[in-house]
Amino acid sequence: MLDVAEPRGIGKHFVAPEARRGAGDGARLDELAAALRLGAAEPGVVYLVGAGPGDPGLVTARAARLVATADVILHDLLVARELIALARPDAELYDVGKVGDGRHVAQEDTNDLLVRLAGEGRSVVRLKGGDPMVFGRGGEELGELLAAGVRAEVVAGVTSGTGALASAGIPGTHRGVAQAVAFVTGHGAGDTPDGDRDWKSLATFPGTLVFYMAVKALPDIARELVAHGRPADEPVAIIERGTTDRQRTTRGPLSEIAGIARRAKVRAPALVVVGPVAALADQLDWRGVRPLAGKAVVVTRAGDQAGTLAGRLRGLGAAVLELPAIEIVPTSAPLPDFAGCDLLTVTSPAAAGALWDALRAAGLDARALAAAGTLVAIGPGTADALSKHGIVADLIPKRAVSEGLIEALDELGVAPRRAIIVQAEGGRALLADELGRRGVEVTTAALHRTQSVPLTDEQLATLASADAVLFASGSAAKSVASSLTASGATDLRAALGSARPIAIGPTTATALRDLGLQPAAVSDPHTIDGLIDATVALLS
């Protein structure tokens, strides 16, 4: 039975609200919803929503909107955590997924829970991997809901039979090669291997066969297809974890594929593709030609800031592991008096966010900054962070460091009398010291601070197996070093294993060297673009 009376902890029927959702996600989704005229989840309605094959970028806008507005979400085990993270902070999340060793929530219990929650007037999303109506038991759940008089809506998703094949460079159909494609389950009712299916029809099907949930039954499938007339040398491809960072394709002839899969230790979830199109994987391998294909990269930025960097690295082919080594928290520092300030400097994207949060907490908005003079953003990333709140920087120094601002002031001949510097608590004092030396009255507004997030032994092991680890701040470097030391490491360079450190700029590079870690590369310019370019140059 599914116990719904008591949450089970992270990842087991319930996810603590505070562990979910980054700041700003809601506003961005609301803008998208308005543009596409997407309605929110309605009370008393159950939505059977396709979560796609694994890559969170392949979910529909409708799916994302419903996840972000539902009261309750019942999700499968393999649904992308990035999609689940869109849930409202107060939403209830239940993991009702099934796993191969028999540990699962019974389908009947899931059906009963859907009906009960809708009856309580809750808006409910049943989030299912792939498409709910393609081997997702969506038809069964829909039938139960309609029979109980519950309003329901089906939101189609990208099924792995199309998404994973496309990701692997294998077309389901291809002119002159295959004119049809069939989706076939590797298991029957009750999750037992299908031994009574029409193998003759499948063996003579004039096109591509795509088997779902077929890893365990692969020896039987291959044997029966060959026995009923399918060519023994026909190409077969097995796509594991299609569309994700861990996608892997194993290939071989039909008569040998079961042994090849066993030796390659192929594991579910995986698709088995039978047909001549499987031989096109090398020719059409669009993932493998990207500059970071096959490379594992660790991103240590704070969670809310990591998304853009991780997304762009994935677009270049990298398998990205997000291990936020620090988190940004507000301080109790008061807002400064902007009146009479002729130089307001915001030193980082995190500082920009902290400034905005402090303004809102005080019941103010961007108009409060009108009393200040020249607004400086240290780096284009900081300027972008400000612009999201309608604040436009007057000056962005060519070099995204404090020294760059000093150089810019000298070039412009600007001599401020009173300056405010918005930065992290414990941040560099170079700018304040230099301005003070020039007779400027300086106020430092430390509206936020960074605090370490300890990494687990498992995370540290994964970190050490990566090809590179990216540091966007000295505080992230110190936090990772602290976790390594706490785990018993005495030689930090050796503890990083194959992971080569890459620093976003000279300040971060200095912090790494002070820890005994020589950076393998230092980005120039000292921006996210520069960091990505440095990573590509080092690894490709």
Please say whether the dihedral angle defined by the alpha carbons of residues 457, 462, 463 and 465, taken in this order, is positive or negative.
positive
Alpha-carbon gap, residue 274 to 209, rounded angstroms: 5
Burial 286-323 (b: 16+ CB within 10 A, else e): eeeebebbebbbbbbbbbbbbbebbebbbebbbbbbbb
Catalytic site residue 76? yes
Torsion of CA 281, 287, 292, 295, to 10 degrees: -60
Which residues are 470's β-sheet partners? 299, 502
Q: Which of 98, 112, 245, 357 is catalytic?
A: 98
How many residues appear in the chain?
540
Alpha-carbon gap, residue 338 to 384, rounded angstroms: 21
Alpha-carbon gap, residue 128 to 245, rounded angstroms: 20
Q: Which of 30, 76, 109, 112 is catalytic?
A: 76
128, 51 Cβ separation under 8 angstroms: yes
Find out whether the peptide bond into 525 is cis, omega within 30 degrees of 0: yes
Q: Which of 343, 413, 412 is nearest to 378 (CA)?
A: 343
Burial 350-359 (b: 16+ CB within 10 A, else e): bbbbbbbbbb
Burial 184-197 (b: 16+ CB within 10 A, else e): bbbbeeeeebbeee
Catalytic site residue 98? yes
Please say whether the dihedral angle defined by the alpha carbons of residues 89, 321, 242 and 110, taken in this order, is positive or negative.
negative
* Catalytic machinery residues: 76, 98
